[in-house]
Amino acid sequence: MRTRPTIRVLIADDNPTVRRGLRLQLNHADDITVVGEVSSGTDAVVVARTERADVVLMDLQMPGGSGLAATRALAGPEVETPVRVIVLTNHTAHAYVIDALESGAVGYLIKTHDTSDLLTAIRAAARGDALVSSRVTIPLIRELTRRRNTARPENDPSPGVLSPAEIDVVTQLSLGRTTNEDIASTLFVSVNTVRSQLSSALRKTGFSDRTQLALWAVRRGLDQQRPAEPSQQ
């Protein structure tokens, strides 16, 4: 019987109790291998590269180099071979979330709220998807909406690159619906259709994950569009 590929995970947190708890949780998953533990952002960058980590669980505030700087070094827009970074923190303020996502993080989880979603988030990150805590999704969307009139990046693609069906799906992302199942139910289409349209939208816009796609959609005002009619697919 074919087994799933092993996902190589690095834990970056300055609290040894947190690291121990995370390792114990991950050790029960047969498709995940913990390749190391570090207590600073600087070490996270070095060890993630030397141990060929697929996913890094990154705390934001650590001595000896912040998790935000490490995230940018491992997964920022200028990185040729980015590592998937999931921020795992106690900070729920939208400023932290936006900084982390714009630095390249593909996930943002709250330690006291999302431990049951950890394995799901790691597997999603490994296959190129993203998971953001439900505790921060709506505040994040509201803050991005408030900032709508700020300057867009010069290379921000136009919504015109997407088909109407892709626009419908991406619009749902911008409204805080982050799972394929939730989007499919809202639009009355299949999960496979949602998955295909998101994959196509990512390819056309050049973003690496759905979190970045959602941020772009809000910048472009897709969340202000009228609700889409159910797709006939």
Report how far residue 218's alpha carbon sits from residue 227's, in angstroms, rounded to the nearest whole number: 15
- Residue 152, pLDDT above cutoff 50: yes
CATH class of 7-143: alpha beta
pLDDT, position 230: 45
- List of residues 6+ apart from 121 with CB closer than 8 A: 86, 107, 109, 114, 131
Instruction: Quickly state the pLDDT bin for 231 (edges 50, 70, 90).
Output: very low
Cα(207)–Cα(215) distance, integer angstroms: 10
What would the pLDDT profile of 117-151 be if each residue is shown by its tens digit? 899 889 988 887 777 887 776 666 666 656 555 55
pTM, whole model, 2 decimals? Answer: 0.68
pLDDT of residue 146: 60
Domain(s) of CATH 1.10.10.10: residues in the chain: 153-224
Q: What percent of the chain has pLDDT over 90?
A: 46
User: How does residue 153 score in pLDDT terms, banded at 50, 70 and 90?
Assistant: low
Average pLDDT over all residues of the chain? 84
Residue 1, pLDDT > 70, answer no
Average pLDDT over residues 47-53: 96
Q: What is the pLDDT of residue 73?
A: 95
pLDDT for position 154: 65
* CATH number belonging to the domain at 153-224, selected among 3.20.190.10, 1.10.10.10, 3.10.20.740, 3.90.1150.10: 1.10.10.10
pLDDT (mean) for 165-174:
91
Tens digits of residue pLDDT in 54-94: 999 999 999 888 899 999 999 988 888 899 999 999 988 87
Residues of the chain with CATH 3.40.50.2300: 7-143
pLDDT in tens, 96-124: 888 888 888 988 899 988 888 899 889 98
Examine the pLDDT at 52 and tell me if it is beyond 50: yes
pLDDT at 29 over 60: yes
